Chains A and B, each alone.
Chain A
Amino acid sequence: MSHDAATKKYAQNAASAIKDEILQKALNKIQSGLGKATALSYQNLDEGPDLRLAAHDIREKTINNLDVVLTRLAAKIRENGGRVYFARTGEQAVEYCLKIARQHHVKQVVKGKSMVTEEIRLNPAFEARGIEVNETDLGEYIIQLAGEKPSHIIAPAAHKTRQQVGRLFERKLGVPYTEDPPELTRIARKALREKFLTADMGISGCNLACAQTGHITVVSNEGNIRMATTLPKVHVAIMGMERVVPNLEDHDILFRLLSRGAAAQKLGGCVSYIGGPAGPEFPDGPEEFHLVILDNGRSRILADPKFREILCCIRCSACLNVCPVYGKIGGHAYDATYCGPIGAVLTPLMEGMNQAKDLCLGESLCGACQQACSVNIDLPRMLLELRYRLAYGDDQWETQPVSVAEKTIHQAWAFLAGHPALYRAFLRTFALGQKIFPTSRGMITKMPGPGAGWTRSRDIQPLSQTPFRKRFKKLNAKKAHG
């Protein structure tokens, strides 16, 4: 897609999302409920909300030593009989998973919710080879049946009403229509139990690994991930290479913050620590365990000191729940694996700054995301940094300086600002000239030429007839006299 087409699509997606009443209601519910509850849950931490800062330090230390941390994790898992595969690209990761599937003649896969498998487009690759893939998180299951994409990291079907889900189940599962959430949940429970019991392979992501003990941990409130990682004969877990901490005591801090950031919970409902296959002496559990550690563009981010901080992210999704932009346009408008503030920073870095530039330009820089972030990531700083690279060009990220016209305007402005007399003359002329623009309630409502972009969706304050300089002088004079 060309850049202009991408911009157009982003704007169109956003516009239709804003008009979608169902979506607006759902977004409102998420943000007013979860957003507030999460903030409160940080306050209620035993150590107080500053634990977020300690967590940030741990994450930073981990990322800065990722080579030794991952080496230890891999060694430990191999010691426990697990296999570890390091994948440079998403394709390599998918290829590896397919290879295991072939070895075991896998016909059917059950999956735990995992964003990284969305990132590497695992499902379509499996389906193309005739392997049935079943999402087992209720939200993901709904999305999969509907043939859509998740709109929120942890509440993927938040944009659907119970009536829509009821009709979907009626159509796809051949059950009588109901719009009762407990009844709908029961229907999915039954359908998925069959899948769990017949699947030959379980695939999961990884919320947070602990290198020292050699375990990945996966969390779900539904218990579906426990099912998917216990019942099939083979379990493959895929983790973004940054999703790890060195020690158990680090895991404690990060894990508690993850639970709070994600769902305002003290601890996720069901947590599995997995460090290897169940040996021959065990009566159940997968007999084979594979861990795929994925780069897929992350090392490029690691190499840029200004963006490295984004690898501290633990994908709790708390930033989505407070972001005013996400709160209006929803997850789909971002048209990327990761949405909201985290997506606005991550997507340009992973999929190309030029292609995804609108995502970072679209955010408001209000700073709510950093305050909500379970590990206090300075997302606004990185949004600005992205804009800087886009404006001034950066070979590393293949961006070119923006248009000559814009640059000339900025240069002219700089020149004016450096010459007070000229500057004053310019302002005076403009203050007079602006009278030709239509106004309403003291605001300019329409401007021509390049100014039209601004006034299309908002008004602009006219220049004051008496400049501040003059008023300030007057004030000072008054003070001196009085």
Chain B
Amino acid sequence: MQTNTTETQFIKTLRTALGIGQESAGARAAKIFTDPKDPSPEQAAIVKTIKSRRDKDHMALLHHLSREAVPLNLNVIPVKDKAQVSKAIANLVKETGPEWGAKKSVVQWDHPLVNALDLKTALKDQNVPVHTAAFDTTGMDDLTRSKARDRVRRQMIDSYIGVTSADFCLADTATLVMKSRPKEARAVSLLPSIHVAVIGKEQMLTNLKELYALLKYDPETREAELLPHHMTLISGPSKTADIELVMVHGAHGPRKLYLYVITG
């Protein structure tokens, strides 16, 4: 195979340049890669800290997040329960208008927490449609699938508010962490002008280090799901300083980002 010859040659060139042989490759690999099943004491301690967190620790993280979110233009809104979120979103829809088209519509993930908001009902009296950007592909042929993809894409383009959840939120950098899953279309948090995310406070982590420790060294997290082919970190809405270093929000993607944290 063409690819493989080039790869072999490429790697061989590297070895020649480094002055090392292939024989040592195995041993060197064992040394340079850390083993997910054998965390260092530091990494093990991080996982333990995360797992031992209680309500008050999560509240403290939420507090930290609220502070860090301000300069990033991320609106963090702690709420008691889901009903408050539905109400807040209904209000948001009432008070804002679409950026591109004339008609208001909302698009959301097929996700337990988002579904539980029952946005269809919440937006019924305003007559605003709510689309769910997902479809079941089992048994679908290619053509039907590609048509379904096109339909979902159209919905995401047309909707001006996208509602998602997230896997984690990193307090220290005000970062939403979203792994890609079949029912959670990536563009729901990308194409609409407003992104609304809803999480529970127990999804709070401190920083990137904690996230990585959890993803790599926590057996429970790993068993549930390995890192998928795609993951996104979002720290506040899009911004640019490319014209005279003047900070402007909303270059591409959502111009506003609301994060509701359910404190329960």
Could you list which residues of chain A lie within 8 angstroms of chain B, going by C-beta atoms?
A: 26, 29-30, 33-34, 46, 61-62, 64-72, 74, 80-88, 136-139, 142, 155-158, 160-162, 165, 181-182, 184-186, 188-189, 192-193, 196-197, 211-213, 215, 221-224, 226-227, 230-231, 241, 246-249, 251-252, 255-256, 266-285, 289, 293, 295, 299-300, 302-303
Contacts and interface: CB of A to CB of B under 8 A. Distances in A.
Contacts of B245: 26, 29-30, 33-34, 155, 158
B208 A226 contact: no
Given A155-B245, A248-B216, A274-B230, 10 more contacts: A65-B29, A67-B11, A67-B20, A67-B25, A70-B11, A81-B229, A222-B238, A227-B190, A247-B33, A249-B213
B180 A282 contact: yes
19 contacts: A67-B25, A68-B28, A70-B14, A137-B242, A139-B240, A158-B242, A213-B216, A222-B239, A249-B209, A266-B172, A267-B175, A270-B238, A273-B233, A278-B180, A278-B186, A281-B182, A284-B187, A295-B13, A302-B17
The 5 A-B residue pairs with the shortest CB-CB distance in the complex, in nearest-first order: A223-B253, A139-B242, A223-B238, A303-B17, A222-B251
B190 A302 contact: no
A149 B213 CA distance: 41
B244 A224 contact: no
A26 B246 CA distance: 12
Interface in B226-264: 227-236, 238-246, 248, 250-254
Residue from B148, B209, B227, B229 whose CB has the most chain A CB atoms within 10 Å: B229
B233 A227 contact: no
B230 A192 contact: no
A92 to B, nearest CB: 8
B14 A299 contact: yes
A264 to B, nearest CB: 11
A328 to B, nearest CB: 18
Nearest to B3: A85
Q: Chain B, interface size: which category?
A: 35 or more
B52 interface: no
B145 interface: yes
Contact of B242 (A88, A138, A252, A285): A138
B18 A66 contact: yes
Residue from B25, B156, B244 whose CB has the most chain A CB atoms within 10 Å: B244
Interface stretch (B57-65, B82-90, B131-139, B161-169): B131-139
Residue from B212, B215, B234 whose CB has the most chain A CB atoms within 10 Å: B212
Interface string B5-47: 0110111011111111000010011001110000000010000
A270 B135 contact: no
B93 interface: no
Interface in B100-126: 100
A136 B238 CA distance: 13
Contact of A249 (B148, B212, B228): B212
B128 interface: no
A246 B33 contact: yes
Contact of A302 (B14, B186, B229): B14
Given A64-B18, A278-B180, A299-B17, A227 B231 contact: no
A444 to B, nearest CB: 42
Contacts of A29: 244-245
A71 B100 CA distance: 46
B69 interface: no
A277 B229 contact: yes
A390 B57 CA distance: 60
A184 to B, nearest CB: 6
B157 interface: yes
Nearest to B233: A271
